[in-house]
Amino acid sequence: MVKNNLSILLIHPEISRTKYNFVGVIENECLELEYIATMLGEEGHQVYMYDGQIERSGVPQALKKYKPDLVYVCGRTRQENFMLEYCRDAKAFNEDIITVIGGLHAQLCYERMYKEYVDYILTTFDIFKLIDIIKHSILSQDIDLSSLEGICYKKEGRWFHNKALPFEIKELPLPDRTYFYEHPSNYRYLALEHAAWVRTAYCCPYRCRFCHRNKMNAGKYVTRDIEEVVKEIESIQSENIYIVDDDFLIDKERLSKFVQLIKEKKIKKNYICYGRADFIANNSSIMADLKEIGLYYVLVGLEAIYEQTLVEYNKHSNLQNNVETIAICNQLGINIMGMFIVNFNFTPKDFNNLYRWIKKNQLKHVAISIFTPEFTTEVYDEFKDRMITDNPSHWDYLHLVATPVNISVKRYYFCYYKLLIKLFIRAKRQGVYDFIDYGYYIKSFIKNVIKSKRSNDDL
């Protein structure tokens, strides 16, 4: 007898099993799973969520507790090992459990998930395909899998991939934030506690060389009506809103409407968003309006301190925009998180120059990422002969994954951690991130400088 009221376990993976998971510093709400929870709940199924960032018991315990008919796992490149581990755990607990992997990593790297313990892979943002998978695999309904765009499935032991088409984001339901509300002490973004994620767009219209986010959603940028976005924000029981679009600061008219509606509805919240330096440098008045309604953090990919590097990155911006963006945000009282990439060409002098530039331009919040070519991209193909690891957990932007050009791997790490230590000490003196255990991270960075194996390696 086929049961219609199924038990579904939705899993958001751990980041790392070391303190480098940054739990208590930055924790991401499981927004994709919340969309799915709404959809499956409306279908009459019992939906459970498990967030590896914050749960104290492991996935095997969750499997015993919920006894799911289907397990869905989503994540990013660095979480691949965990995603596959959870699917193995599910099959070990009960071989009849249907296992599905989705999320950003699966959209481009689905072939890496072709395992005997994985049943389906979702390569699209179209979460409604999951209903079709359930109807076919569990409810025994006549569904032609070959007609479902954006899935990978097995037939007679062979994997098949159906090409994904762009998904219209306006079709998404409102997320079920029950799990989010049940954990009021989690999901912070730096100084802002219990920050709710809101998505207003999929993909990115820009084509920066180092980034693969513009390939998501089959490469098509789509947006929600801003009126619907504001309605959602108004309904959220949190004072802090993290707008997680790859770039929220794109359309001036849309942003002006956003500001207008927030003011009309008298919504008092803090906001976090991503934006480009060329937009901020040329739209100081809009930034002032956003500050007025509560913009607290803006995350900006400054990327580099050399014009030629920005050209090589296909950034379509320039160094002057970077300087002006920092000045505008500092003047308005917006906390700018300046994000930089240290690439394989860096020398000790470049690391030192980057620190001096950050200090000179009075940038308080800084994130330094190591250039990391994503699997299956053209950039990865360019560097594949120099790769020194294929462990996806190293795709966390804290690891070198390819041999540097000018210095040894050991020297590169020495310079990288030296830069991080200097930035941490500077931030501590300025009172930035008072909630961070500076002592732990600085000591850990120092250990990493002198050790051949770094403590942020997954064991």
Q: Are strands 201-202 and 222-223 parallel, antiparallel or unpaired?
A: antiparallel
Mean pLDDT on 384-397: 94
Token readout for 142 is: 């006549």
Q: Where are the alpha helices (DSSP H) in 178-264?
A: 178-181, 226-235, 252-264
* pTM, to two decimals: 0.94
The answer to whether position 54 is within a domain reads yes
Q: Where are the alpha helices (DSSP H) in 171-225?
A: 178-181
The answer to whether position 22 is within a domain reads yes
Give the rounded percent of residues in the chain with a pLDDT score beyond 90: 86
Computed from CA positions of residues 79, 203, 108, 278, in that sequence, does the dihedral angle turn out positive or negative? negative
Token readout for 321 is: 């925009």
**Which residues face 339 on adjacent strands?**
301, 367
Number of compact structural domains in the chain: 1
DSSP assigned state of 170 = G
Mean pLDDT on 146-175: 97
The answer to whether position 82 is within a domain reads yes
Higher pLDDT, 25 or 49: 49
C-beta neighbour count of 139 within 10 angstroms: 14
CB 98 within 8 A of CB 133: yes
The answer to whether position 190 is within a domain reads no
What is the domain range of residue 48? 7-161
Mean pLDDT on 80-99: 98
Using alpha carbons, select from 301, 285, 226, 294 the residue that is nearest to residue 263.
294
The values of phi and psi at residue 154, to 5°, are -110, 140
Burial of residue 347 (CB within 10 Å: 0-12, 13-18, 19+) is: middle
Q: How confident is the model at residue 428 (pLDDT cuts 50, 70, 90)?
A: confident
Using alpha carbons, select from 250, 295, 303 the residue that is nearest to residue 275.
250
Given a cut of 50, whether residue 251 has pLDDT beyond it is yes
The answer to whether position 362 is within a domain reads no
Predicted confidence (pLDDT) per residue in 295-351, tens digit: 999 999 999 999 999 999 999 999 999 999 999 999 999 999 999 999 999 999 999
**Interacting residues of 449 by C-beta distance below 8 A, sequence separation 6+:** 413, 414, 417, 418, 421
Report the C-alpha gap between 4 and 447 in whole angstroms. Answer: 54
CATH number at residue 41: 3.40.50.280
**Which residue type sits at 22?**
F
Q: Given the structure tokens 């099993």, which residue do they identify?
A: 17
Given a cut of 50, whether residue 459 has pLDDT beyond it is no
Q: Given the structure tokens 């007679």, which residue do they identify?
A: 156
Q: Given the structure tokens 């504001």, which residue do they identify?
A: 230
The answer to whether position 13 is within a domain reads yes
Report the C-alpha gap between 50 and 74 in whole angstroms. Answer: 11
Mean pLDDT on 415-429: 92
**Interacting residues of 289 by C-beta distance below 8 A, sequence separation 6+:** 255, 256, 259
Computed from CA positions of residues 248, 253, 254, 257, in that sequence, does the dihedral angle turn out positive or negative? positive
**Which residue type sits at 165?**
L
The full DSSP string for 422-444 is HHHHHHHHTTTTTTS-HHHHHHH
How long is the chain?
Answer: 459
C-beta neighbour count of 385 within 10 angstroms: 8
The answer to whether position 97 is within a domain reads yes
Mean pLDDT on 41-58: 95
CB 50 within 8 A of CB 11: yes
Predicted confidence (pLDDT) per residue in 15-26, tens digit: 887 766 567 788
Given a cut of 70, whether residue 269 has pLDDT beyond it is yes
C-beta neighbour count of 39 within 10 angstroms: 19
The full DSSP string for 114-130 is --TT--EEE-SS-TTHH
Q: What is the 3-state secondary structure (H, E, C) of 35-78?
A: HHHHHHHHCCCEEEEEECCCCCCCHHHHHHHHCCCEEEEECCHH
Given a cut of 50, whether residue 419 has pLDDT beyond it is yes
**Which residues face 72 on adjacent strands?**
10, 100
Token readout for 323 is: 């300087």
DSSP assigned state of 11 = E
The full DSSP string for 344-385 is TT--HHHHHHHHHHHHHTT--EEEEEE--PPTTSHHHHHHGG
The full DSSP string for 329-345 is HHHHT-EEEEEEEE-TT
Mean pLDDT on 405-420: 95
Q: What is the Rg, in whole angstroms, of the alpha carbon atoms belonging to the chain?
A: 22
At 95, which helix (H) or strand (E)?
A: none
The answer to whether position 129 is within a domain reads yes
Q: What is the pLDDT of residue 19?
A: 60
Predicted confidence (pLDDT) per residue in 57-70, tens digit: 999 999 999 999 99
